[in-house]
C-alpha cells in the first residue's frame, strides 16, 4: 500500500486521493476502463483544435486548462496565448496604431481632420478585452456543443495514463485516458537575475490587460514580440524605447530585420543597441529608474520610464506537469518535450503539440493543424503527418514583414553562396527557397505566395505570374534585379 501511495503522489493535495484512486480510477485505468479516449492538457489553439476534431470523430474527449496568474496578477480565460495575450489582442492594437497613421495621412487626401488626434488607451483596451472575453465564451460553447468535457484545473501526471488536476479552490480530480495530448504552450521569460525585474516589470501577459496607459515604456528584447509591442505603442503616440543586447529578429532574414528596425526608428521608436540591463528601481515619483551598460564602450547609463516590458523569449510550460511520473522525456536545456514526426513523445500514447514540443515553430496555425491531423490519425484512420517545411508567418511591426521558406542566411548555409540568387537556386528550374516581403498587409501577400512555394514554384513561374495592378503584392512578380547584379532596385514608375 505504501509503495502504491508513493506512486500516486503528484502535486500537493493529490495524495489524499490515493484510496479512491485505488478503488476506481487507477485500478480501472490499468484494466482498460479509462475515463476518456483522449485527454488534452492545455486549452490553447492547438489543444482545442485537437480536442474538437477528436470529438467530431466520435471519441470521448476532455480538456483540462488552467492559467496561473502572471507575477503582475493578470489572468484570463479559455483559449491560450493567441486568443488572450498574443495574436488577437496584438493585431487589434497594431490596427489601432495603423488607424492613427491613416488619420494623420488623411489630410493629404482632402480630409479636414484636426491635428493632433488624441488616443484613449482605456477605450481601446476595453474594446480589446471585451472582444477577447467573447472569444473565451465562444470556445466554451464550442466544447459544449461537441460534448467535450472541460475542466478548469491545473493538471500533472500521476502515471502514464492518469493525471491529477487541482482547481483554484483546492479541489482535486483524477482523470485517466487512453491517449493524452500535452499542449500547454509557453509563458514569457523573466530575467530573474536582474534586480527589480520581477517586482517592477511586465510582459506580454500583462500589456493587453492594462486598464491604464503604460505611458513612457522601455521594451527589453529583440524578439518579434518586442518589436511588435514597441511598434504599436509608438503608433498610438507613446514614448517608446527598445533596449536590445544583440541582433533584432534572430532567426529571420537579417536584411529584412534591419529594414524593419530602420523604419521603426524613422517613425519615432528609439533603439538602444548592444546594451545589457543591470537593474530596475522604483523612484519616489513612481517612475522606474533603469540602469544599463553599453557593451561596446562599457559606459553605464540610466533612464526613467513608466513601464518596463520584458520581451526576451518564452519558456515551455512543462515544469509543473510531473512528466517524469509518466516517463516523458524533455530536452534538458530548453525543457521542451521531445517528439517524433507523429508528435509522439517517449511514451507512445502521450503526444505533444505546439510551442511545448521541441523543434516546432512557435506559431498558432501550425499547432492547430498539427492538433487536427493528430486527432485524425488517432481516431479517423488517417496517416497524414504535419509538414513543418515552408510555414509562412508575419511579424506585425508598423511596416509588416511576411516570410515563408528559408532566409537568405539559411539558403546560403544550406546550398552555398554561389548557388543562391534572390533566395532561389541559381540552376534551372531556379526553385524558390524563400520569399520575404516588407510592406502593408504583408500577411495577406505572403499567404498567397506560400501556396506557390509549398507547390515548389520556380523563379520563372513567379515571373510569368501576372500581377494585379496597382497593388503591393505585384512587386513580388516584378522582381528582376538581384543583389548580385549591383543594379539599383528603386521603382521609378508603373
Which are the catalytic amino acids? 469
Closest listed residue to residue 272, CA positions, set 294, 305, 290, 291:
294
CA quadruple 207, 208, 212, 213: dihedral sign: positive
Counting other chains too, the contacts that 458-465 makes at CB distance below 8 Å and 24 or more residues apart are 458/424, 458/428, 458/429, 458/430, 458/431, 458/432, 459/422, 459/424, 459/429, 459/430, 459/431, 459/432, 460/429, 460/430, 462/432
Selection from 435, 420, 428, 440 nearest residue 483 by Cα: 420
With residue 472 as reference, give the H or E element that holds it. none
Cβ atoms 419, 413 nearer than 8 A = no
Q: Grid coordinates in use for 477?
A: 512578380
Q: Write the CA distances from 480 to 368, 432, 441, 464, 476, integer angstroms.
A: 37, 14, 22, 12, 9
Q: Do residues 405 and 390 touch, judged by C-beta distance below 8 A?
A: yes
Q: Which three cell numbers stand for residue 56?
A: 467530431
CB 10 within 8 A of CB 333: no
How far, rounded to the nearest angstrom, does the alpha carbon of residue 117 sit from its chain's CA centroid?
A: 32
Q: What is the 3-state secondary structure (H, E, C) of 418-433?
A: HHEECCEECCCCCEEC
The conformation of residue 25, written as its DSSP 8-state character, comes to: I
Q: Which three cell numbers stand for residue 160?
A: 502514464
**Contact in structure between 181 and 157 (CB atoms under 8 Å):** no
Amino acid at each position: 500500500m505504501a509503495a502504491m501511495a508513493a506512486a500516486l503522489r503528484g502535486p500537493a493535495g493529490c495524495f489524499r486521493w490515493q484510496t479512491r484512486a485505488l478503488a476506481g480510477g487507477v485500478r480501472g485505468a490499468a484494466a482498460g476502463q479509462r475515463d476518456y479516449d483522449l485527454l488534452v492538457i492545455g486549452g490553447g489553439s492547438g489543444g482545442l483544435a485537437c480536442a474538437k476534431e477528436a470529438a467530431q470523430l466520435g471519441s470521448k474527449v476532455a480538456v483540462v486548462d488552467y492559467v496561473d496568474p502572471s507575477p503582475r496578477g493578470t489572468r484570463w480565460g479559455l483559449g491560450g496565448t493567441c486568443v488572450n495575450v498574443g495574436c488577437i489582442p496584438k493585431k487589434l492594437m497594431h490596427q489601432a496604431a495603423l488607424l492613427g497613421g491613416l488619420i494623420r495621412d488623411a489630410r493629404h487626401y482632402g480630409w479636414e481632420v484636426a491635428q493632433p488626434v488624441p488616443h484613449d488607451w482605456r477605450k481601446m483596451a476595453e474594446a480589446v478585452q471585451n472582444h477577447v472575453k467573447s472569444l473565451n465564451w465562444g470556445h466554451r460553447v464550442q466544447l459544449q456543443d461537441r460534448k467535450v468535457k472541460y475542466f478548469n484545473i491545473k493538471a500533472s501526471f500521476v502515471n502514464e495514463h492518469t493525471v491529477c488536476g487541482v482547481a483554484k479552490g483546492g479541489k482535486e480530480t483524477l482523470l485517466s485516458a487512453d491517449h493524452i495530448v500535452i499542449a500547454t504552450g509557453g509563458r514569457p521569460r523573466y530575467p530573474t537575475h536582474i534586480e527589480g525585474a520581477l517586482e517592477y516589470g511586465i510582459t506580454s501577459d500583462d500589456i493587453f490587460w492594462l486598464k491604464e496607459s503604460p505611458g513612457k515604456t522601455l521594451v527589453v528584447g529583440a524578439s518579434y514580440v518586442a518589436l511588435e509591442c514597441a511598434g504599436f505603442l509608438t503608433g498610438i503616440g507613446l514614448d517608446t524605447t527598445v533596449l536590445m543586447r544583440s541582433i533584432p529578429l534572430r532567426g529571420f532574414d537579417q536584411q529584412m530585420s534591419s529594414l524593419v528596425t530602420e523604419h521603426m526608428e524613422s517613425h519615432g521608436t528609439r533603439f538602444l543597441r548592444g546594451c545589457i540591463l543591470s537593474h530596475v528601481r522604483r523612484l519616489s515619483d513612481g517612475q522606474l529608474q533603469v540602469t544599463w551598460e553599453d557593451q561596446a564602450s562599457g559606459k553605464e547609463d540610466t533612464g526613467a520610464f513608466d513601464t518596463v516590458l520584458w520581451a526576451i523569449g518564452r519558456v515551455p510550460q512543462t515544469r509543473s506537469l510531473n512528466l517524469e511520473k509518466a516517463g516523458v522525456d524533455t530536452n534538458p536545456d530548453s525543457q521542451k518535450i521531445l517528439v517524433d514526426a507523429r508528435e509522439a513523445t517517449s511514451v507512445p500514447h502521450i503526444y505533444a503539440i505546439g510551442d511545448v514540443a521541441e523543434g516546432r515553430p512557435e506559431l498558432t496555425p501550425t499547432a492547430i493543424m498539427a492538433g487536427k491531423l493528430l486527432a485524425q490519425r488517432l481516431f479517423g484512420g488517417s496517416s497524414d503527418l504535419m509538414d513543418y517545411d515552408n510555414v509562412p508567418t508575419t511579424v506585425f511591426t508598423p511596416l509588416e514583414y511576411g516570410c515563408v521558406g528559408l532566409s537568405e542566411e539559411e539558403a546560403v548555409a544550406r546550398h552555398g553562396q554561389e548557388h543562391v540568387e534572390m533566395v532561389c537556386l541559381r540552376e534551372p528550374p531556379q526553385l524558390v527557397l524563400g520569399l520575404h516581403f516588407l510592406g502593408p498587409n504583408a500577411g495577406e501577400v505572403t499567404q498567397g505566395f506560400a501556396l506557390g512555394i509549398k507547390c515548389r514554384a520556380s523563379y520563372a513561374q513567379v515571373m510569368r505570374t501576372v500581377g494585379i495592378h496597382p497593388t503591393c503584392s505585384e512587386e513580388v512578380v516584378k522582381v528582376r534585379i538581384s543583389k548580385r547584379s549591383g543594379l539599383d532596385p528603386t521603382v521609378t514608375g508603373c
